[in-house]
A and B are shown apart, each in its own frame.
Chain A
Amino acid sequence: MFALGPIGFTVPWLLLGLIILPLLWLILRAVPPAPIRRRFPGVALLLGLTDDETQTDRTPWWLLLLRLLAVAAVIIGFAGPVLNPEDETPGTGPLLVLADGTWADARDWERRLDRMDALLGEAGRAGRTVAVVSLTDLPAEGPVFLSADAAATRLPGLTPVAYAPEAETVTEWIQSLEGDFDTYWMSDGLARDGRTEVLEALEDHGTVTVFESPRPVFGLRPATFEDGAVQITGLRDVGAGPLELTVGAVGPDPAGVERQLATGPLTFDSGATEATLALSLPPELRNRITRFELTGVRSAGAVTLADDALRRREIALIGGDADGEVLELLSPLHYLREALEPNADLIEGTLADAIPANPDVIIMADVAQLTSIEAAETLDWVENGGLLVRFAGPRLAASDVARDGEDPLLPVRLRAGGRSVGGAMSWGEPKSLAPFTESSPFFGLEVPDDVSVSAQVMAQPDPTLAERVIAQLSDGTPLVTRKAQGDGQVVLFHVTANAEWSSVPLSGLFVQMLERLAVSSRTELPPLEDMEGTIWAPQAVLTAFGDVEPAGTMPGVPGEDLIGDVPNAAVPPGLYAGENRQLAVNVLGAEDVLERASWPDRIVVEGLAVVRETLLKGWLLGFALTLLAVDAIASLALSGRLTGPRASGSAAALFALGLMLGAVPNGAQAQAPQDEVTTETEPAGPADDFALRATADVVLAHVLTGNAEVDQLASRGLHGLSDVLFRRTSIEPAAPIGIDLETDELSFFPILYWPVTPDQALPSAEAYAKLNRYIRSGGMILFDTRDADTASFGSSSPEGRKLQALAAPLDVPALEPLPPDHVLTRTFYLLQDFPGRYASRDVWVEAAPPGASQVEGMPFRDLNDGVTPVVIGGNDWAAAWALDETGNWMVPVGRGMAGEQQRELAYRFGVNLVMHVLTGNYKSDQVHVPALLDRLGQ
């Protein structure tokens, strides 16, 4: 490489191009800037004027210099200048390229391959033979040294695996090598047992160079469930500065499509190598999670599979009738709750509530009779794989359920009455449990001596009974029976779930039995003796890149191998399914830490970057571009195009300058958010003012429609109504406010008057959300189509159509025309008509509940509580109420006295309406009935 001082050139002959620079000087100098042609009437006055200077027909020297510099920079740039070029001296002899090939390599595997390729190329040029070996896939017969070309063809076949190499195997393999060779070790950067031995063994054969990526390695420990949240611990090998990563919880969504169900930030403090995220998720979501992964980190270590340990089953507890105020310890659910609470999520309530939640298990304690709908739903749920566990009790014993034929929701037919043994009025002793038979799921559980049964329901002898019994008493009567129903099963404990009939719920056996029935799941790892002899089928395996792949035809794994030092080649990370549970084998265990490998000083450690020299080409070309941009602007300025009339080129030039200085505006913007933060801490004036104005007194509000005339009339109308309210009632409203649905808060206002105009814009989705919240929380909207209700809420008037469009997204309940006994007819005045400027009858309010009926002798029905959320009419009330500033009526109503009467009724309707909003159904209260009857003259 041709070098000048610290700078070398990759293509030095291009520098010859510099020779043309003087020539260019001459050419450029001879060509003056092109003139502009301008039309100018004043040219007649210019004739005869000569230029003072004559040399400006040549390009000025500084502009020439600028251009020559730019050209020189381009030439030198393309000549490939390199700062501090490296002259490597290739070694000789065979070369062993050793890759760790673990999951920690996976995140930059491509770069490793590139680097190895470059090394192989170098070795090939030096005529060395090369062997490429991955420590996780050791060739049994030792390394085969091939020509570099042949070795390079094997590179793509090299893949990392998701587990670490076994230290002993590696050490043995290395120590068995013979001959002299140099070693390039592509390390994954993690400290591991046996590194030193391997290094020393390799150094016996020749020099060792280590290649390592400086990027940190991240990993996740298995997720655990503690304190009501999923705890995820992240690891990194270097305690660098603070860092925030995102942990994603992946699992199937309700449609079965795999997606990220939740994410959370994992924040490493400065210097810390561990960080923990507590992810609080609803059980439905949590149980669907199949794995957690660090978003954006492509490595098996950054993925941890979730197994049953994380899964908490949902169990619905259904008691008998809730009416009995039984003591806590006698409650049929008490022992179940105690037994299940630690490792399951409990749903308590009615069956109708529980089934939609789709629990894993439903436990019914002494529930005898189900309604047909409940029974059908439950049966559906069982047949779809649910586990129904029932406990007997006095109610079941007394009922006729499963007497004559088999009930699908009970495993056996029951005999009437049940039996009781060992009581004061019966013969015999309380019975103890017989040991469990081999076919029983409880097989192997110790039966404590002190467990006794004093009462039970009896199964009807049946041909199928024997196979359904899974636990029996010492006299052979069934204690627990089970049958399959569809994909699920139904289990009956023939005793109560409390200690009334037996002492089973008091014993530890109860919990174990529930466990065996898979009612509750075990979170801890099964003990070794339980695993012996079992075969676990791999369900899914994890690749080194963190992808989950189906296990395919992988053979089963003996249970004892799953415990202990995993993963390894025989047990790759993945999900293994046993008889009734799943076990995840993860790359990192609960105790693992990540540490960076430390190498002795004598070892050369290089990065993965293929070229480490500083290339100056980009800088030079950038410099040339800058010079050319300056040249463009300077040329424009020189030829008078930058300033003066119609300087169209100047805008483009300044734009180009702005692009070049793009970093400056960015910096300015970065400051902006901070300013906003500081201003936010100050009280937001207008919003506070609005809130104060709206809440200091009762304020009537109207919706601004955008039609100035209608808005003005609505405002004046509410003024008029406020005046009347102030004078006649104890409601003393302040001045009404017109509100913009998009920006203003609605919750301050008891009532919204909404005049409907055909041309008003539909509110946005957010505004509708606000309106629905307003309606649900007790607000009222008075819709006024102002069309005298000619359309009767058909769509034949433009306002009617608009009203339909406006109200469609609103959460409006069923409506009915205002019934004569509605509370609006008597909240302040007794009214039967609700005229405004027009006197149409139909005003619509929320419909009365279907069951409401008039009691004999009562003038009106006892109707629903609360306030009707909408009142819809078309009487143009605001116009009838409207008073101008001087207190005169703005709009005529009717004629003569009849008109005055109509206006008075309109005011009375307004008063009643506001009263209704503010007092609810107070006047519906029967207390006032006698007085009201008196007034009504009945």
Chain B
Amino acid sequence: MSQNAPLTGPALRRAAHELAAPLPPLLAEAEHLASTVMMGEHGRRRAGLGDTFWQFRPAEGHDETRDIDWRRSAMSDVQFVRQKEWQVAQTVVFWVDRAASMSFTSLKAGPTKAHRAAVIALALASLLVRAGERVGMTAPALRVGAARGHVLRMAGLLADPDPSDYGTPSDEGMMPHGRAVFVSDFLGDISAAEAALAKAADRGVRGILLQVLDPAEEAFPYDGRTIFESMGGGMVHETLKAGDLKDRYLERLAERKDRLSMLAREAGWQYATHHTGDPASMALLWAYQALERRA
């Protein structure tokens, strides 16, 4: 619908329905995915904000008097402070690639990379919000929030595709010493990712890089005279015998992965590759663990 069309009641409602249509399934899928983690080995060891006792430690000079746990301190001569886990909520900023390249799938009725990326990101966000963290987004920017409704807003933004061929990460809206999650296929120009990562590292932001790839991109099962086009049509490469390119392509892909891995290591980030042919829960589990890891 064009922007200038008069928004009558039914039209508006239809537009709203169209917009919202992908959201509930996406969210439901993400919630479903998130629930698999809750049931997993990680349990609720860190559930609840400030409710769970973590440890007593001897009070030090900088501790305020009101933090002293008098009941524990009365048992001895030393004053103790009751420490709780996750007292300070982390801020996690997501960047999920929505560019045209992510809309590729080689599987029949299988998910596109964009879909898988959105599901994983939303599930992760949902888990974090439940754990009391605050989540936000960059490019498109969404301010950080901790409400459950925030995930819904994230889903709304993720359903909106980006017309460019390859996505570029951005570091805007990142809190210093916060956490960041980048989900993309990282097949485009790597310098943008490099720059974003460097800026983030400068601000003390730690995070994860999750590379989502289609199985066809790993296997390159093509042969014969072929014209390869990027998803947006911006890039074209013609070959007379696609089968011959396979080895060299795979070599380049491996290089790209190495490079990403190295970048991540340098910045203190975590890096992993996920294939849309695999279950999403594996990637989610890894991402959740990677975020928990205290770097």
Contact = CB atoms under 8 A, between A and B. Distances in A.
Interface of A: 32-47, 49, 51-54, 56-57, 638-641, 643-645
B163 to A, nearest CB: 15
Given A36-B224, A38-B222, A45 B256 contact: yes
Contacts of A54: 240
B226 A56 contact: no
Contacts of A641: 224
Nearest to A643: B223
Given A37-B229, A41-B230, A44-B230, A53 B241 contact: yes
A38 B217 contact: no
A39 B104 contact: yes
Contact of B187 (A36, A39, A41, A640): A41
Contacts of A35: 224-227, 238
Describe A's contact surface by its main secondary structure: loop
A645 B237 contact: no
Contact of A42 (B217, B225, B236): B217
A791 B223 CA distance: 74
A57 B239 CA distance: 10
Contacts of A43: 228-230, 235-237
Contacts of A49: 237, 239, 245, 248-249
A57 B240 contact: yes
A640 B236 CA distance: 18
B222 A46 contact: no
A644 B242 CA distance: 11
The 6 closest A-B pairs by CB, nearest first: A640-B224, A640-B223, A41-B101, A639-B224, A35-B225, A45-B252
A640 B230 CA distance: 19
A41 B253 CA distance: 12
Nearest to B106: A645
B226 A38 contact: yes
Given A42-B220, A42-B253, A45-B256, A37 B242 contact: no
A32 B239 contact: no
A639 B224 CA distance: 4
Nearest to A47: B237
B61 to A, nearest CB: 57
Interface in B210-227: 214, 216-217, 220-227
A46 B225 contact: no
B229 A51 contact: no
B244 interface: yes
- Centre residue among A32, A34, A41, A638 by max chain B CB count within 10 A: A41
9 contacts: A37-B226, A39-B230, A41-B217, A45-B249, A46-B239, A49-B249, A56-B241, A640-B243, A645-B222
Given A41-B104, A41-B187, A41-B231, A33 B244 contact: no
Given A41-B187, A42-B249, A46-B245, A644 B225 contact: no
B22 interface: no
A33 B229 CA distance: 19
A37 B238 CA distance: 9
- Centre residue among A34, A42, A45 by max chain B CB count within 10 A: A42
B166 interface: yes
Contacts of B256: 45
Nearest to B236: A43
Contact of A33 (B188, B225, B245, B248): B225
Contacts of B166: 41, 44
A44 B225 contact: no
Interface in B139-179: 166
B237 to A, nearest CB: 5
Contacts of B104: 39-41
A45 B254 CA distance: 11
B223 A40 contact: no
Nearest to B214: A41
B235 to A, nearest CB: 5
B239 A40 contact: no
Contacts of B230: 39-41, 43-44
B185 interface: yes
A54 B238 CA distance: 13
A47 to B, nearest CB: 6
